[in-house]
Amino acid sequence: MYPNLYYVIKELFGINVPFLKVISSAGFFMALAFIPGAWLWGYELRRKEKNRELTYITKTITIGKRTLIKRVLLHLILGFLAGFKLVGLLFTPYEITDNKEYLFSWKGNIPVGVLLGIIWATVTLYVGYMQRLYRPEKKVIAVYPHEYVPKAILVAAISGIIGAKVFGLMENWNAFLNDPIKNIFASTGFAYLGGFIVATFAMWYYHYKFGVQRMRMADALAPSLMLSYGLGRIGCQIAGDGDWGINNPNPNPYGWLPSWLWSYDYPHNVLRKGIYMQDCTWDDYCNKLAVPVFPTPLYELILCLFLFAILMLIRKQIRMAGRISAIYLMFAAIERFTIEKIRVDVRYDFWGFHPTQAEMLSVFLFVCGVFLFFIAPKLNANRVRKPDGDV
């Protein structure tokens, strides 16, 4: 396992790049999972626009205005932070071994931060000066749904991270009460389904605010969500972030199945759990699990890719708005509920039942999916009429 990118690069290429220790491999590979999902969502929106399932909205903009000083200040601050923390990593005079300790400290490179901030603010002023007009003009433009993707992804990412962390803290409430600061800023302890629910509400409000046809936007997004979630589990597997299964000491009963796909002990896991590995030189990432477990992130990757393929196959046959989203919700709920049976997680006690948070949320999502599937015809009966008169 590779707790951060430093060990990935060192192991694969033999290159020693100390500043990469602050970049979590779990977070890095999860971020990469957004890329194919965002591309696919944009592709699906363009396809629906071409098929006239989605249409544009009109928006009045003013061109040639002076650059707002608050925009210049914002870019100055963002540039400073980027230089101070990120670019500054290349020039730090000390070795950084902990990403949280660095990112949430006053450590960084002030000259680089000031320089990058000034450059970004200057470029913003120059571009604004070149585009300004003596008399600003108002212009009506057509905005298509696929043009909202970059901002919508940002909204989903921020709200999803916040939601996943909040639900993760709720799931481990006693640990949070014992050390709130440590748990809030920990790079682990995220609950995906909690993040998904919060991001869904945030996206719904975002698209409502801009008058976009939300149900068809959601249908276009459904396969992307399944793909990105599955690919994101690669980061969990590579880092060994605790999203593994229950103990599985049994021998592999299938000759054709690789042993690491049957059970795995997660050496060098980022949580530092297990027994110490003799002669290990990986700083304090020298533990492996005493008893191998089911590698559930890999199982989720396989299941999600399979369900993603089904969604891609049926998406063109099911044109009724809301139905693909409903099927996605039911698929996602079944996948997660199933994997919870062999996954390590906190269990609650309700009237003799011992569900996990993910199991309860899975049931909720499945019920929502069934409900949405059956009310979809009513949603379609109330569709917004297109500008050319077609429905």
Domain spans in the chain, listed from the N-terminal domain onward: 23-57+145-246+294-381, 69-132
pTM, entire model: 0.80
What is residue 180's predicted lDDT score, i.e. its pLDDT? Answer: 79
What is residue 288's predicted lDDT score, i.e. its pLDDT? Answer: 95
What is residue 135's predicted lDDT score, i.e. its pLDDT? Answer: 82
- Of the pLDDT bands very low, low, confident and very high (cuts 50, 70, 90), residue 109 is confident
Whether residue 30 is predicted with pLDDT greater than 80 in this model: the reply is yes
Please report, as a single letter, which amino acid is at residue 263.
S
Q: Tokens in use for 371?
A: 């409900």
Whether residue 337 is predicted with pLDDT greater than 90 in this model: the reply is yes
**More confident: 192 or 375:** 375
Q: What is the rounded CA–CA span in Å between residue 274 and residue 286?
A: 9
Q: In this structure, is the dihedral angle defined by the CA atoms of residues 339, 342, 348 and 353, taken in order, positive or negative?
A: positive
Residues 6+ apart with CB under 8 A from 25: 2, 3, 4, 5, 7, 8, 235, 238, 239, 270
Q: What is the rounded CA–CA span in Å between residue 18 and residue 249?
A: 36
pLDDT tens digits, 211-270: 667 888 889 999 999 999 999 999 999 999 888 999 999 999 988 999 999 999 999 999
What is residue 391's predicted lDDT score, i.e. its pLDDT? Answer: 31
Supply the mean pLDDT for the chain: 84
pLDDT tens digits, 74-103: 999 999 988 887 776 666 655 555 555 666
